Amino acid sequence: MENVTPIKSATLSDDLAQQLTQAIVEGSMALGSKISEPELAKRYGVSRGPLREALVKLESLGLITRTANVGARVIDLKVSDLMDTFAMREALEGMAARQAAESMADEEIQALYRLLDDHQMFLDNNQDEHYTSQSGNEDFHQRIIQGSQNQKLIRLLNQDLYATIQLYRRHTADSRPEPRQALREHKAILDAIANREGDLAELLMRRHISRAANLLKKAMLQESVVNEKSSRHSAQK
Amino acid sequence: MENVTPIKSATLSDDLAQQLTQAIVEGSMALGSKISEPELAKRYGVSRGPLREALVKLESLGLITRTANVGARVIDLKVSDLMDTFAMREALEGMAARQAAESMADEEIQALYRLLDDHQMFLDNNQDEHYTSQSGNEDFHQRIIQGSQNQKLIRLLNQDLYATIQLYRRHTADSRPEPRQALREHKAILDAIANREGDLAELLMRRHISRAANLLKKAMLQESVVNEKSSRHSAQK
DNA sequence: GCGCCCAACATTGTCGACAATTATTACCAA
DNA sequence: TTGGTAATAATTGTCGACAATGTTGGGCGC
């Protein structure tokens, strides 16, 4: 029952920001479409005040663009933006891996090994179940990020970049065709962290993300027709 | 008595965000102090609506923290935050240098060489004029960032991180005690970019920033007494 | 005196209405 | 028909007021 007001947060503005983010990522708000404040306010049953605050937040998340006296639009999907985002992710998560190697607790590392074992078992049993494989992948990255203990980094990756990456994933054919390869890379990264080799951990994480970026890019270019269509029929109004 | 609206932007909210950012960075708003919406609104002569939108923006810039139904506070200066920020900056500007080495135009590189020459001449003439040396430093970094042509990176570094870094600079004793060393490092970085050696450019940029971070950290720890005082007399109210 | 509870106050969150700006439409001329 | 222009409609920006939540201070019981 995700539909109408799923979670009751402290403030309407926060709620809205969350719901709108979800709506954009899930595609129920067409990419590139104009956002009408009165319409949205009516649809969510709130006044324009909190809505506008939510829009300001979404703008700084990079999910919408706003121009003064004109209005807001949902962002468009562009390959160049995707590559830009992944370059940043490569740099930042690489740094996260380095810092995790320096400051992650031993028991956390052990827990991560268990996570990877579970993932391995899952792959052996079910031949390829992309969805959970995907969530397992995210879990690994999440824990590395957390392990960096760099608060600024955690916030940036989890709040600012996360939605964007989700958005691109959601709008391209599910890309993660080689879960076993990904798992091997995860294991190598974790080994480096366990050995407290920050340089190596960073290097491996960067290669890992760079590889994923290339796969995503290829997938996106192949179905660029789809993107064209979806961004075109919704570009105006 | 703030200067009364020096620049007139398109929207009050944007104006406010800019002025408040400046006020925080310059220190006319005490670090850690509580922000009263009615008071600020009265001081700037606006209603609470645009003010709140500006506050949402400042929050996502990391300059203030907000808690629902309680209010907003200016952030506090913490050494750990400084180090976190500089770790991110190291990763991101390193990536910027790499991408600049790949995609910067030749004439831009030549212009950068001229900039460094000017800087050199300036240092030879005036023994040590920190302020302009500082602005020259920033100019160099700005151009590298721009040269990366990574829009996401440019926005993040120039808008999100810039204010934070300025804030830390402003609240610690001016740290840049070795402008000649910095200039040498800039020159090495630029050489790497001119030779299209992305790996080297990234490595040098990271070392350069890491060094600056350590200097800043040392300066901050030395005058931690000052920080204690300033954050204490303004903590409540 | 000390701690708890309740009432008065202040601050934040939300709303509806008005002002300012932009988009649209109708109309006229070439 | 086409282009430009003026009037109209719609949307965004801003404001003041009300509702809801937090905070503070005084009084009461122990």
- pLDDT score, position B220: 80
The 10 Å CB-count burial string (b at 16+, else e) for B155-171 is ebbeebbbbbbbbbbeb
Most A-contacting residue of B48, B76, B84 (CB-CB within 10 A), to test interface: B84
Tokens of A151: 């608060």
Residue B25 reports pLDDT greater than 60: yes
Q: Please tell me the distance in Å from A140's CA to the nearest CA on chain B.
A: 20
Most B-contacting residue of A64, A88, A153, A202 (CB-CB within 10 A), to test interface: A88
Helix H or strand E encompassing A28: none
User: Domain A12-75 classified CATH 1.10.10.10?
Assistant: yes
Closest residue to B68, CB basis, from A10, A49, A88: A10
- Tell me the average pLDDT across A68-91: 94
CA distance A65 to B125: 47
Q: In chain B, which segments carry CATH 1.10.10.10?
A: 12-75
CATH homologous superfamily of B79-223: GntR ligand-binding domain-like (1.20.120.530)
Q: In chain B, which segments carry CATH 1.20.120.530?
A: 79-223
Tokens of A156: 């940036």
By CB atoms closer than 10 A (0-12, 13-18, 19+), residue A142 is middle
Q: How far apart, in Å, are the Cα atoms of B57 and each of A51, A57, A61, B89, B91?
A: 14, 7, 10, 21, 24
Quick check: B78 and B41 in contact, CB under 8 A?
no
| pLDDT category of residue B224 using cuts at 50, 70 and 90 | low
pLDDT digits (tens, 9 = 90+) for B114-135: 999 988 888 787 665 554 556 6
- pLDDT score, position B137: 76
CA distance B232 to B230: 5
- pLDDT score, position B26: 92
Residue A10 reports pLDDT greater than 60: yes
Quick check: A75 and A64 in contact, CB under 8 A?
yes
Q: Is residue A35's beta carbon less than 7 angstroms from any atom in nucleic acid strand D? A: yes
Give strand D nucleotides closer than 7 A to any protein Cβ.
11-17, 21-23
**Beta strand segments in chain A, E:** 34-35, 64-67, 71-74
pLDDT digits (tens, 9 = 90+) for A106-146: 999 999 999 999 888 887 876 655 545 566 677 899 999 99
pLDDT digits (tens, 9 = 90+) for A161-209: 999 988 988 887 666 668 889 999 999 999 999 999 999 999 999 999 9
- pLDDT score, position A116: 93
Contact A11 B69 (CB under 8 A): yes
CA distance A217 to B3: 49
Contact A95 B80 (CB under 8 A): no
A79-225 CATH: 1.20.120.530
* Pairing verdict, β B34-35 and A71-74: unpaired
HSE, CB side, 13 Å, CA atoms: give it for residue A68. Answer: 8
Q: How far is the CA of B69 from the C1' of C6 (A)?
A: 21
- pLDDT score, position A71: 94
Determine the residue type at B129: E
CA angle B21, A159, B201 (to 5 degrees): 75
